[in-house]
């Protein structure tokens, strides 16, 4: 089952996709933000074109787990996405995904100039991989019990 991962930002939307087994995430593309409604249609179109069955959207919770202004904005995007798509839309805690993408870039030895480019698709892949890792781990525990 292929899953689409979303990192929704103020200016750009990072998009990632899983492999058909739902085990590994990879960056797919970056979409420029237009409006919630148009962004939701674009994400829905990508999910259909890629034959995805689920959409996971990273939600930036505050350090205490509460929803601040940014999380509420992403939540409104999720609501719009749910109204435009027949696919299940899952909100997933994206805490520090952009920082993790930056650290991964540094670990790969990429220069400062390359790190200044948008990394939203890589952040989306980190969010999606975290979801996949947790989702698969829970599925395995159910099978073993």
Mean pLDDT of all residues in 34-40: 96
**pTM across the whole model:** 0.81
Does pLDDT of 143 surpass 70? no
Domain boundaries, the chain: 3-144
pLDDT attached to residue 94: 84
Long-range contacts from 46-49, C-beta under 8 angstroms, 24+ separation: 46/4, 46/15, 47/4, 47/85, 47/87
Q: Which CATH class is domain 3-144?
A: alpha beta
> pLDDT for 76-97, tens place per residue?
999 999 999 999 999 998 875 5
């Amino acid at each position: 089952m292929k899953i689409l991962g979303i990192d929704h930002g103020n200016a750009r939307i990072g998009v990632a996709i899983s492999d058909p087994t739902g085990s590994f995430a990879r960056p797919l593309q970056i979409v420029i933000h237009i409006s919630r409604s148009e962004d939701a249609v674009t994400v829905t179109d990508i999910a259909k074109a890629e034959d995805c069955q689920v959409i996971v959207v990273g939600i930036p919770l505050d350090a205490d787990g509460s929803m601040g202004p940014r999380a509420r904005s992403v939540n409104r995007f999720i609501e719009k996405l749910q109204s435009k798509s027949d696919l299940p839309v899952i909100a997933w805690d994206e805490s520090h995904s952009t920082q993790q993408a930056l650290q991964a870039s540094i670990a790969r030895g990429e220069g400062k100039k390359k790190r200044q480019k948008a990394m939203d698709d890589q952040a989306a892949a980190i969010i999606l991989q975290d979801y996949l890792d947790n989702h698969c781990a829970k599925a395995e525990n159910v099978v073993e019990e």
